[in-house]
């Protein structure tokens, strides 16, 4: 059997960094079991590197609008006024 047609086991799913619930979502989206290539694509696209899957919930708790927010989140770095005519720049980049 070729690798691309190999059975997708819980161990393979885990080795791709996907949780059981994420794999269930893959099955729901595709309407079938993915092959290894397709599983790899979901693994990469849903990784912390590409989607911030573990940090996104914490990033959402940070203020994005306030008197001290010079530039909020978006395509550019966020800029925060820290007083005394100084600012700090934050950029979270995964690529």
Q: Which two tokens stand for residue 55?
A: 């940090």
pLDDT at residue 94, rounded to an integer: 58
For residue 66, what pLDDT is reported?
Answer: 92
- Residues catalogued as catalytic: 49, 95
DSSP bridge pairs for 87? 81
Entry pTM? 0.60
pLDDT at 29: 96
Domain segments of the chain: what residues? 3-54, 60-89
pLDDT at 95: 56
95 residues of the chain, pLDDT tens digit each: 455 567 899 999 999 999 999 999 999 999 999 999 999 999 998 887 777 777 778 878 888 889 999 988 776 788 999 999 999 998 776 55
- Provide the pLDDT for residue 60: 81
What pLDDT does 12 receive?
Answer: 95
Alpha-carbon separation of residue 44 from 14, 64, 72, 79, 90 (angstroms): 13, 28, 27, 30, 25
Q: What angle do CA 72, 74, 77 make, to 5 degrees?
A: 70
**pLDDT given at position 76:** 76
């Amino acid at each position: 059997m070729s690798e691309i047609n190999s059975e997708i086991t819980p161990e393979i799913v885990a080795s791709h960094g996907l949780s059981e619930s994420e794999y269930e979502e893959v099955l729901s989206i595709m309407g079938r079991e993915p092959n290894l290539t397709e599983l790899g694509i979901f693994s990469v696209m849903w990784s912390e590197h590409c989607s911030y899957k573990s940090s996104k919930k914490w990033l959402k708790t940070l203020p994005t609008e306030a008197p001290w927010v010079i530039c909020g989140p978006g395509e550019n770095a966020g800029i925060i006024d820290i007083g005394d005519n100084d600012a700090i720049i934050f950029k979270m980049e995964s690529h």
